[in-house]
Structure 1
Amino acid sequence: MEKAKISASQLFILMVLFELGTSILLPMGIGAKQDAWLAILVGMISSFLLFFVYHRLYLYYPNLLLTQYTQEILGKFIGRILAFLYILYFAYFAARILRDFGELLLTFAYPDTPLFIANALLMLVIIYTVRKGIEVISRSGELFFIFMYILAITGFILIIVSGLIHVTNLQPVLEKGIFPVLKVAFTKTLYYPFGQVIVFTMILPYLIHSKKAKMTGLCALGLSGINLAIIMLINISVLGVTLTERSQFPLLSTVQSIQVADFLERLDVFFMFALIITSFIKISVFFYAVVIGMTSLFKIKSPSRMTYPLGLVILFLSMTIASNYQEHFYEGQKVVPLILHLPFQVVIPLFLLTVVFLKNQETRSRVMKNFKNSSRK
C-alpha cells in the first residue's frame, strides 16, 4: 500500500461517480419494461446487504487490501491465487468500461477516428492520474462531482421545459406483477453497477476514519441508486419503453430531443461531459485496484512502476475483448453476470466471511477453555 489517506467525503464522492460510471449510458433494468426504475431501486437495496459483507471483512482486516486478507484467511497458496483472480477481474472491467467509452465516443462524435486512438487518449490521462496515487484520484473526484451535478440539474430542467416528459409512458406500474422486477434486479442491476463496489475493498484501508466507512458506503450506494432510477424514469417517460429498449445509449437520445424556443438544442455536449467524467473515475478506480493489487501481491516497492505496463495491458484488452460492440454488449448482459459477477461479488466474499467467522469462534472457544482451566487451578 502507498502511504496515503482519504476522507469520508472523498470516499463518498468516488463511490457515487464510480457507481454512475457508464451505467448512465445504458438502458439499465429495461428487461422490467416501464418498471426498470423499480428494478434499479430493488438492486440498490439488495446491494446494501452485499456492502455489509464487504464492510464486515474490512472490520476484521482494517489495514489490509482484499488481495492481502485473502491470504490471511485461506493461506498463502490459495489466497494468492484468489487475489490474482480478483486482480484479473478488476482489469477485465477496467477494459470493458474503456471499450464502452471508446464505442460511444465514436458513435457520438468521431465516427472516422480509430477506436484505439480514442481509448488510448483516455488511458494516458488515467495512467498519469493513477501514477500520482489515490489522493489525486480522490481530489479529481471532488472537482468533477460539483460540475457533474450542475450538468445533471441543468439537463433535467431543460427536459421539463421542453415538454418532453410523458408520464403515461411509465404506466401501468407493475403491469405483470413484481416477479419481472425481482428477476431483473437479482440477475442484472444488483451486480451492475452496485455489486462492483467490491473494488472499494482495495481503497477502504486508506480511509482516515474507519468508523465512517459503513455509513459512507451506504449513503453513496443510496444516492447513486436514486440517481440511476431517476435517469431511467426520464428516459422511459421521454422515449417510451420500445425506443429505450432499442437504443444503445438512451440518455443520449433523450438529451438530443431537448429543444427550447427553437434555438436551444443539440445539447449533446452535456452528455459528453458526463460520459468523460464518470468513465474517467470508474476506470481510474478499477485500474488503481489492479496496480495496488499487483504491487502488494508481488511485493513491488513502487506502485508507480506498474502503471505504464499495466495500462498498456488494459488498453489492448479493451481492443480485443470483443470483435464488435454488439458482441461486447451481449457478453455484458448475458454472460458476465453469472460467470463473473455472481462468484466474485457474492459467493467468494460470503465464503471468506464465513471462514473468518468460524476461525474467530474457534479462537474464542479456545481462549474461554484455557481461561476456565486456569481458573480451576
Structure 2
Amino acid sequence: MSKQVKESLTVSPFFLFFLIHGTQTGVGMLSFQSKIIKGAEQDAWVSVLLVGFSFHLIIWLMYFLLKKSNNGDIFSLHKQLFGKWIGNIFNLCFYGYIIVTISTIVRSYVEILQVWVFPYIHLWELSLIIVLATTYIVSGGFRVVTGMCFWGVVLPSILFITLYFPLKYANWNNLLPLFNHNFVDYIVSAKQTIFNYLGPELLLIYFPFIKNNNNSQKWAHISIAYTTILYFIITIVTFVYFNIQQLEHTVWPTLISSKIIRLPFIERFEYIYIFAWLLVILPPSCVFLWGGSRILRKTINLKPKTSLWISSSIVFFIVINLKSEISIKNINSFISTTGLVLVYCYIPILFFLLNIINFFKRRKSLEN
C-alpha cells in the first residue's frame, strides 16, 4: 500500500528539519538548565550530548518501523502487530500522551506570562488565546502547520545572538572539575534532559505527508544534530554565567540571563524574549494538536474539524485546571516519564516485535 498521501498534501523532505527541530525547542529551553544539574551538576552538558546522540538511534528505529508499516504510520503498524481493537487502544494511549503534552506546553508558557508580564490576567483568558491561535493554524492543514514550524525556527533564531552577552561575564571555572561524577549521576541528568528532546516521535504520524519519505532520513538526523548542538551551547553559556548554587534557585535561567542586555531603545529586553517565545511554543503545539486530531479521526472515524475541536477543548480544559505550581511540576514530570517510556521502551519493543513476526513469516514461507 502507498506510504504517502496525495502529493498536493505533502511537503518537501527539507521541511522535515523544521518539523522535528520545531517540536524540540519549546518553553523547556528557558528552564531546563536548573533541572539537569540535579545529577551530574557542572558535568550535565555530557548528558545533554548523550541524549542527543541517542535520538539518532531512535530516528533510525522509527524509519525502520515506518518503512515496514503498510501505510507508513503508527496506525497501520499497530493494526499489523496487535489487530484492529488492541491497535486502536494503543492509538488512543498515544492520543492521550499528545494531548497532555500540548497542555504542558501551553500551561508552562502561560505561567511565564503571568509571572513576568500579566500577573492580573486570568489563566483561562491567556490559555484561550493560545489554544484558539493553535487551533486556527492547525485547521489550515499539515502544510500550514509546516509553514508555522519554518517561521517558528527561523525568526526566533535571531535571539540566540543574545547568548554573547552572558559570555562577557563568563567564569569558565564553573565547569571544573570535569568528569567527576559516576554513571548514575549522568543518567539522572539525562532523564531531566529528555523532555526537551521530545517531539520526533510525531514522525510516526506525519511520515506519509513527507514527499519521497523513504529518502528523507538525512534531514531528520541533521535536525537532531542541530538541536543537540543548540542545547549544548545554551547549557555551556548558562553554566559559565551561573554557578551551581545559583542555578539551584533559578527557575528560568535563560530569561534571567537576558535581563543583563541593555540597549538604548529597549529597557526590559526580557519582554522581547518572552513575547518572541510565542513563536517557539506554537510549532510544537500545532504539530502535536494536528497529530492528536489525526489520531482521533483515524481511530473513531470523525470528521477533521470535529476531531480538531474536540482535541482543542480537552487541551483547554486540562490547562485551566492546572492552577498550582505543584500541578504544573507534576504534569511536567509525568510527560518526561511517559516520553522516556515511549521513546526508549515502546519504540524498541515495536522494533523487536516486528522483526520477530517477520522472521516467523519468512520461515513459514520457506517451509511452504
TM-score past 0.5 threshold:
yes
1:144 paired with 2:152, answer yes
Whole-angstrom CA distance in 2 between matches of 1:62 and 1:265? 57
Check 1:108–1:312 CA distance in 2 against 1; reply closer, same or farther (3 A cut).
same
1:291 paired with 2:300, answer no
What does residue 107 of structure 2 align with? 99
What does residue 22 of structure 2 align with? 17
1:243 Cα offset (Å): 2.0
Q: Which moved more, 1:170-179 or 1:225-234?
A: 170-179
Check 1:91–1:170 CA distance in 2 against 1; reply closer, same or farther (3 A cut).
same
1:131–1:304: 8 Å Cα contact kept in structure 2? Answer: yes
Whole-angstrom CA distance in 2 between matches of 1:217 and 1:180? 29
What does residue 192 of structure 2 align with? 188
What amino acid maps onto 1:229 in structure 2?
Answer: F
Whole-angstrom CA distance in 1 between matches of 2:362 and 2:61? 21
Deviations 1:283-322 (A, max 9, x none): 111111110110111123x3123222321110111122x4
- The 5-angstrom pairing of residues 304-315 of structure 1 reads 304-315=305-316
1:2 Cα offset (Å): 7.1
1:22 Cα offset (Å): 1.8
Aligned to 2:92, which of 68, 84, 97? Answer: 84
Structure-2-length-normalised TM-score = 0.91
Check 1:61–1:299 CA distance in 2 against 1; reply closer, same or farther (3 A cut).
same
Higher-Rg structure is 1
What does residue 347 of structure 1 align with? 345
1:331 Cα offset (Å): 4.3
Whole-angstrom CA distance in 2 between matches of 1:42 and 1:274? 29
2:97–2:335: 8 Å Cα contact kept in structure 1? Answer: no
1:66 Cα offset (Å): 1.4
Check 1:72–1:245 CA distance in 2 against 1; reply closer, same or farther (3 A cut).
same
1:226 Cα offset (Å): 1.2
1:105 Cα offset (Å): 1.1
What does residue 362 of structure 1 align with? 360
Structure 2: 5+ residue runs without aligned partners? none
Aligned to 2:31, which of 15, 26, 30? Answer: 26
Whole-angstrom CA distance in 1 between matches of 2:312 and 2:265? 43
Deviations 1:117-167 (A, max 9, x none): 1111111110001111110011122223221212212x123444xx22221
1:201 paired with 2:209, answer no
Whole-angstrom CA distance in 2 between matches of 1:146 and 1:39? 27
Structure 1: 5+ residue runs without aligned partners? 371-377
2:192–2:336: 8 Å Cα contact kept in structure 1? Answer: yes
What does residue 56 of structure 1 align with? 64
Whole-angstrom CA distance in 2 between matches of 1:278 and 1:342? 22
Q: Which moved more, 1:210-219 or 1:135-144?
A: 210-219
What does residue 124 of structure 2 align with? 116
Check 1:237–1:48 CA distance in 2 against 1; reply closer, same or farther (3 A cut).
same
Whole-angstrom CA distance in 2 between matches of 1:218 and 1:84? 28
Deviations 1:310-355 (A, max 9, x none): 21110111122x441233224424x4444x2343223222222222
What amino acid maps onto 2:290 in structure 1?
Answer: Y
1:40–1:228: 8 Å Cα contact kept in structure 2? Answer: yes
- The 5-angstrom pairing of residues 144-223 of structure 1 reads 144-153=152-161, 155-160=162-167, 163-185=168-190, 187-189=191-193, 191-223=194-226
Whole-angstrom CA distance in 2 between matches of 1:242 and 1:205? 47
Whole-angstrom CA distance in 1 between matches of 2:43 and 2:28? 17
What does residue 325 of structure 2 align with? 325
The number of residues matched between the two structures is: 360
1:204–1:213: 8 Å Cα contact kept in structure 2? Answer: no
1:68–1:297: 8 Å Cα contact kept in structure 2? Answer: no
What amino acid maps onto 2:293 in structure 1?
Answer: V
1:251 paired with 2:262, answer no
